[in-house]
Structure 1
């Protein structure tokens, strides 16, 4: 291969994918279901030993802590009992017995899992509660910084009676104590003036912590990149522009299209790998990867990693309403060089969640690349 390089304004060496291996996704050896991780959450969700804990959710971010625990970060979460037939009661707002909250943690300590939420077992509340019933927070990526967990959250608001009459409103940062995480230590506003949800991914690289966002226009979604010096997202933000970095959020450029609302950027085998559901096709079942020599792109060499088997009428549920979304990697999980990727499963028919609890749970795969 040619060794010719071009120095960018940011000082990082880049070139075309044909010239530099770091701009290429490694050859794919396999992408197979991670039965151990998937069954961990299946078993936990089905266990009725406690009747106030997690039975299904989406989001599925993870934060490894120095003490060995992993905080799994979830958005919409079902709690309560799973019936013998594999269903659940409707949620309490619909007259049933199933509690439902918009964000939660599941803490993994070895083989033990425990659900964390605010409030009590009789009246559970989301970890980050909204100001009123017309608003809610969905969780984004989170990380450990200076002894606390910093989690990005997106506030949404309802503006009408229709099922889809809601919209993104703003971004916030919630800081949690790992020792007592059932409510935030503090909540801080994050940049929200450019219509970008800064919650898709967080990645430490060199002296900076990079924050990845999505500009969600419905049928089109664009990746944006910001960064903060050091580890805390409370620092001064800089935004990726066409020529470098700016302190003005309005200068943030669209780095690329086709990402999900949740994705990941992680260092793997000499390059930065972006893993995402492919949103260039509506309701795509494909999880794809891109590569870059820098944490801020350009991301190239689009490669299909996996086709989710649950999706659509031809999928494992035989249901056109079932879809998969928001794939991202968990690079801290050790699979002998394999990269663990999670994705979420959902359905457009709300009552399906009551008939079959298995739908709305995370799935995990392990992706292996050529050396």
Structure 2
């Protein structure tokens, strides 16, 4: 059509022919220019580039320049990396996705993507080690969280107690576990309804969105603890837990009230794990957690997709030594490994050594994996009002760079600062902490024993 138009124009007017020819030359030149940069064609694009277990944040892909920049954790062995790569539909890539490559820090490796049409594009991939944030300039910003404080201002079911440890379920629900708790009805003026108030040692709440349901043993007219030992003289304090496959594992401490030199004390007999099926929360069985040499595992748990970890503690509650154990994902019922310092991870519990920290601290540390760093949130010691943060490159530490996040001011004594990373808002972490209120006075004011919630900014 274009040629016929040109010939016709030539016969009519030579000047129009020259103009048309010039326009045609420009069109051809612009086509050649586009073919020289096929990266802008969706047919040979890289859509995602992932280094499993080592990557920090998302890879930065630039289709215009055909470049990818990706950050990895410090200490990553880049000589044996097997990147997972997704390309455009019906395109191929070389080296292939999953093929081992040598990605030395700051070096560039070339991947070639071939579209279905045969057009190729070379992509330049650069890997960088993620730098440590400068905590010297980090100033935590702390604000009360009115939303969760409102959630926990309750008038029936669980209404006050300590612990408030949360576990995110695969379907998006959150399980909340509590130790000593009040269950029952609360008057509008926040006093307890005397004949409808019960004190029990472990309770569960399940959160779905803004709705909470209380789960306990016994009946609604006479609630009992959700988990009860076979020995009627003993009871369980609820701790934390983790999800492994289609099962929920909840850690418990088995205790008994005893007299020692005329004083009431608690004897610690055993540590347990209750196994529940998901998503129906049906009880399956109770497992033993090794409790030897005074080391109690199960205070807090952490999962990274490859392993489930349990923190242990040994001490008097005021000044504790921390330990850590782990089991491979899908192997929670099998033999656990224990961190043994220079020996690494061993199956012999007697070889377990303490996590290296600059100071003694309380129990129940929360571990947050953020941009390839592990941040531990924990109280300075039991009934201290200081909530601290430490940093490490691995779950087993060593933990350094102590930062005081917050000093509680709304109670004489606070304890068990717990982070809830599933409720992160940007870089603001939700933290709840228990308060040591007078349980007898709480009959006149329920809020004396209700956990408090704050949000704290974390380092980028």
| TM-score (norm. length: structure 1) | 0.82
Tell me which of 138, 148, 167 is aligned to 1:63.
167
Matches within 5 A, 1:77-88: 77-88=181-192
Distance 1:149 1:121 in 2: 24
Tell me which of 377, 394, 418 is aligned to 1:328.
418
Whether the 8 Å CA contact 1:199–1:212 is kept in 2: the answer is yes
* Cα distance change on mapping 1:232 and 1:124 into 2, 3 Å: farther
> Quick check: 1:154 aligned with 2:253?
yes
Shifted more, 60-69 versus 252-261: the winner is 252-261
Whether the 8 Å CA contact 2:300–2:366 is kept in 1: the answer is yes
Tell me which of 126, 138, 143 is aligned to 2:237.
138
> Quick check: 1:173 aligned with 2:273?
yes
Partner of 1:81, secondary structure, is strand
Partner of 1:67, secondary structure, is coil
Q: CA shift at 1:342, angstroms?
A: 1.2
* Cα distance change on mapping 1:219 and 1:73 into 2, 3 Å: closer
**Structure 1, unpaired ranges of 5+:** 8-18, 91-95, 313-322
Partner of 1:21, secondary structure, is coil
Task: Point out which structure has higher relative CO (alpha carbons under 8 A, 6+ apart).
Answer: 1
Q: CA shift at 1:269, angstroms?
A: 3.0
Distance 2:228 2:134 in 1: 42
Tell me which of 295, 303, 315 is aligned to 1:204.
303
Q: CA shift at 1:184, angstroms?
A: 2.6
Partner of 1:358, secondary structure, is helix
* Cα distance change on mapping 1:252 and 1:307 into 2, 3 Å: same
Tell me which of 175, 178, 182 is aligned to 1:74.
178
Aligned residues: 331
* Cα distance change on mapping 1:25 and 1:293 into 2, 3 Å: farther
> Quick check: 1:352 aligned with 2:441?
yes
Query: For each residue in 1:44-101, what CA deviation from the matched residue of structure 2 results, as whole angstroms up to 9, or x when unmatched?
Result: x12x5xxxx11112111111122221111111121111134422256xxxxx541121
Tell me which of 425, 438, 450 is aligned to 1:361.
450
Q: Which residue of the partner structure matches residue 368 of structure 2?
A: 266
Partner of 2:167, secondary structure, is strand
Query: For each residue in 1:131-155, what CA deviation from the matched residue of structure 2 results, as whole angstroms up to 9, or x when unmatched?
Result: 2343111111111211121111111
Q: Which residue of the partner structure matches residue 297 of structure 1?
A: 397
Q: Which residue of the partner structure matches residue 14 of structure 1?
A: none
Distance 2:263 2:212 in 1: 33
Q: CA shift at 1:211, angstroms?
A: 1.1
Query: For each residue in 1:162-194, what CA deviation from the matched residue of structure 2 results, as whole angstroms up to 9, or x when unmatched?
Result: 66411222111101134443x631101111122
Whether the 8 Å CA contact 1:24–1:290 is kept in 2: the answer is no
Whether the 8 Å CA contact 2:427–2:459 is kept in 1: the answer is no
Distance 1:32 1:269 in 2: 23
Whether the 8 Å CA contact 1:65–1:144 is kept in 2: the answer is yes
Distance 2:283 2:228 in 1: 10
**Structure 2, unpaired ranges of 5+:** 1-73, 77-129
* Cα distance change on mapping 1:207 and 1:177 into 2, 3 Å: closer
Distance 1:363 1:289 in 2: 18
Shifted more, 269-278 versus 248-257: the winner is 248-257
Whether the 8 Å CA contact 1:201–1:262 is kept in 2: the answer is yes
Partner of 2:239, secondary structure, is strand
Q: CA shift at 1:305, angstroms?
A: 0.5
Q: CA shift at 1:258, angstroms?
A: 2.6
Q: CA shift at 1:208, angstroms?
A: 1.9
Whether the 8 Å CA contact 2:242–2:303 is kept in 1: the answer is no
Q: CA shift at 1:328, angstroms?
A: 1.7
Q: CA shift at 1:334, angstroms?
A: 3.1
Normalized per residue, the structure richer in helix is: 2
* Cα distance change on mapping 1:20 and 1:337 into 2, 3 Å: closer
Q: CA shift at 1:233, angstroms?
A: 2.6
